Amino acid sequence: MTASSSSPSLDLLLASLPEASSAQATTVPDTQENRLIRRAQAGDTGAFRTLVELHEDMIFRVCHQWLALEEDAREACQDTFVKAWQALPAWQPRARLSTWLYQIALNQCRDRARSRAFRQRQATTNFDQLTATPACPHASPDLAAVRRDDMLKLQQGLAALPAASREILILCAMEGLSYQEAALVLKCSPRAIEGRLYRARQLLLAWWNRESTS
């Protein structure tokens, strides 16, 4: 199988992820979230705590997909909200709060990945020890095991990609963001997102096929 050919298992795995990881991180109307934001900007820690509760699962998920190591992901998630709290008074809501939080989280992951300590932990961590995305509770044991193995393989594949390719796959293929939403996070055009996503999928597919035949 060549890198340009289709891998049904990879396509199905990526296609299934946005349903489990919705891009809409909050279930409250934007107007209610905006009221919470204004209260938090005025120093209301309770309002900010509510915003954290609404978005922390999304941010941890992104950090975990980027960094692979759970401890680092939790620290990056915490640092994201610390940075958000510090910068919130001056933040101008030109986009959704989730878009801004994605930007902070990705910056935290990039900074952490540049540290020597992180690289050493990543090099010595057995991928079997990584926390994979939980399988659907209604799946049969065999199907759950297959999905767990595929998710572990996907996590390994993401870790093997350049950071820019990893990020576009996390945002679009795994978090389910539209090209327009991802463009806001990564500060580029939707057309650029489309091209980057295509190239990232090709890189992941090439890695997936090499692993499948090795």
What are the phi and psi torsion angles at 7 (to 5°)? -115, 100
CATH of 8-213, one of 1.10.1740.10, 3.50.50.60, 3.40.1640.10, 1.10.3720.10: 1.10.1740.10
Other beta carbons within 10 angstroms of residue 186's beta carbon come to: 19
The residue-averaged pLDDT of 132-147 equals: 50
> Would you say residue 18 has pLDDT above 60?
no
pLDDT of 192: 96
Dist. CA 107–CA 78, nearest whole Å: 13
pLDDT of 210: 87
The residue-averaged pLDDT of 37-66 equals: 95
**Higher pLDDT residue, 3 or 173?**
173
pLDDT of 211: 82
DSSP three-state, residue 78: helix
What are the phi and psi torsion angles at 2 (to 5°)? -95, 165
> Would you say residue 49 has pLDDT above 60?
yes
**Higher pLDDT residue, 23 or 67?**
67
Residues 171 and 196 sit within 8 Å (Cβ to Cβ): no
pLDDT band, very low/low/confident/very high, at 66 (cuts 50, 70, 90): very high
pLDDT digits (tens, 9 = 90+) for 73-96: 999 999 999 999 999 999 988 889
* CB within 8 Å of 188: residues ≥ 6 apart: 196
Other beta carbons within 10 angstroms of residue 152's beta carbon come to: 16
> Would you say residue 193 has pLDDT above 80?
yes
What does pLDDT average to over the chain?
80
DSSP 169: I
Residues 57 and 22 sit within 8 Å (Cβ to Cβ): no
Dist. CA 118–CA 76, nearest whole Å: 12
Percent of the chain whose predicted confidence (pLDDT) is above 90: 54
> Would you say residue 112 has pLDDT above 80?
yes
DSSP 110: H
Q: How far is CA 166 from the centre of its chain?
A: 9
pLDDT of 121: 60
Buried b / exposed e over 97-124, threshold 16 CB at 10 Å, is bbbbbbbbbbebbeebbeeeebeeeeee
Looking at 21-140, list the stretches that DSSP marks H as alpha helix, in order from N- to C-terminal side.
30-41, 45-67, 70-87, 97-113, 116-124
> Would you say residue 128 has pLDDT above 50?
no
* CB-count burial class (<10 Å; 0-12, 13-18, 19+) for 187: exposed
As a dihedral over the C-alpha atoms of residue 57, residue 127, residue 164, residue 19, rounded to 10 degrees, the angle is -40
pLDDT of 125: 52
